[in-house]
Amino acid sequence: MLSDFSNALRGYHALLRGVVEILEIFPPRRLDKEEAVLRKGFYQPITPITGNTVWVHGASLGEIITLRPFLSRISQRFGPEKILATSTTADGLKQLKNENLVGHATFLPIEIPEFVEPFLDRTKPGLVLFSETEIWPLLLAILSRRGIPYGIINARINPRTVKCLKLLRSLFSNGVEGLSFVFPQNRQYAARFNSLGVSKDKIQVLGSFKYDIFPPHFCKSKLREKLGIPIGRAVFCFGSTRSGEESIILDALEPLWSRISATVVIAPRHLERVPEVERLLSDRNIDFTRLSKHKSPTPHVLLVDVLGELRNIFAVSDLAFVGGSLAPFGGHNVMEPAAFSVPVISGPFTENFRSEIQALKGLNALIEVFDRKTLTEALRRFIVSPESFKEYGFRANEVLKRMAGASQRTESMLDKLNLFPKCLLKS
């Protein structure tokens, strides 16, 4: 089974196989039985799959959220039962199931032939689309051996990853050479993929999916009722917050509580940090409730402890801070609140979203803060003159509209390259 693989791939397989055997003897405490089974590729469709599927993979929650518009497009076109989506993380898989956009959702199988081969037999992918920076050497070698075309959509890659892949060229070269296409988000990423050996004729810059955030049809009053937020009360959303940021946010709010007639929503990026944020609120004697408790009306602070609700909260917000930016985490997607014309606040640590930040600043559509003091001042300005902030939201939405369209361009390019399985195009 491995005789036609390079020495580097065979060595990698032996190492990976050894790790799996150790984990079977000493399983991690957090790994439940169902997850272990799925990670070994034992996904069983409710009804057997006939014909080919399109397999789309996103590493984690952020990638799955970004893939939403593309998954929606191809599911509507081919039928959800023809779309298989995988994630590496539990939160990503949970999001896939909550969205219900695809007919088949599971974990990415561990990339050893004993797990991958049966998985491919059951799911029958005729095209495999990896999102952003997903290069799995053994998996790609297996796909290549089977003649299944694969490529990277919404592609991006940082200099550190480029350096790593070049250092381990003997392990990754076959997988990179076998790419049928790479659709980078911008020219800089395109140049980096080219430096890895992807020929220019395989590279097409198509933009980023993260701008294709089209808000669903919703009733604002019903959403507010669902969240327990009374009519007429403003909503300040602090979304995707990371470690250390909640303290800064609460310090910034401290001198303003007596003047705030608003629900302050705090949504940690990772739900396992909810107890930590609870302790911060309790230590400050701030009245709060968890979203899962469905308390109505909500007290001063609503702490989000369930997955998949941030978009709904952005939809009813009057002001939105996007986290990962007041502490050095590189930021998160500032365009999500812009989809609802909500004024956007961000900190200075936004290196993962440079082009978006530049576009927003260029149209005066971003409120940038740097610390507790400047955040307090921004919130105070809103309290004094909320109407003046609405223009920030309208301008941010205009920026988003100008940058959208990558998911449609990706679908069109796959058509142009005749990469969608022929059986799907006939159906």
* pLDDT at 423 > cutoff 80: no
Same domain for 117 and 42?
yes
Residue 314, domain member (yes or no): yes
Same domain for 258 and 173?
no
What are 233-279's pLDDT values in tens digits? 999 999 999 999 999 999 999 999 988 889 999 999 999 999 999 99
Q: Would you say 345 and 379 are in contact if contact means Cβ atoms under 8 Å apart?
A: no
**Stated length of the chain:** 427
Report helix, strand and coil shares of the chain as percent, to nearest 5: 50, 15, 35
Same domain for 135 and 276?
no
Same domain for 65 and 174?
yes
Residue 396, domain member (yes or no): yes
Same domain for 150 and 127?
yes
pLDDT of residue 427: 52
Residue 228, domain member (yes or no): yes
Please give the span between the terminal C-alpha atoms of the chain, in angstroms, as a whole number.
Answer: 35
What are 58-82's pLDDT values in tens digits? 999 889 989 999 999 999 999 999 9
How many structural domains comprise the chain? 2
What are 117-132's pLDDT values in tens digits? 999 999 999 999 999 9
Same domain for 378 and 418?
no
Same domain for 150 and 40?
yes
Domain of 322? 220-403
Same domain for 418 and 390?
no
The CATH number of the domain holding residue 353 is 3.40.50.2000
Same domain for 176 and 310?
no
Same domain for 115 and 38?
yes
CA distance 6 to 180: 20
pLDDT of residue 108: 96
What are 180-223's pLDDT values in tens digits? 999 999 999 999 999 999 999 999 999 999 899 777 677 888 88
Mean pLDDT, rounded, for 299-323:
93
Same domain for 91 and 224?
no
What are 81-91's pLDDT values in tens digits? 999 999 999 98
Residue 338, domain member (yes or no): yes
Q: Residues 6 or more apart from 10 whose CB is under 8 A from it? A: 2
* pLDDT at 426 > cutoff 70: no
Same domain for 229 and 204?
no
Average pLDDT, whole number, for the chain?
Answer: 92
DSSP 297-346: S--SEEE--STT-HHHHHHH-SEEEESSTTTTS----THHHHTTT--EEE
Mean pLDDT, rounded, for 166-183:
93
Residue 305, domain member (yes or no): yes
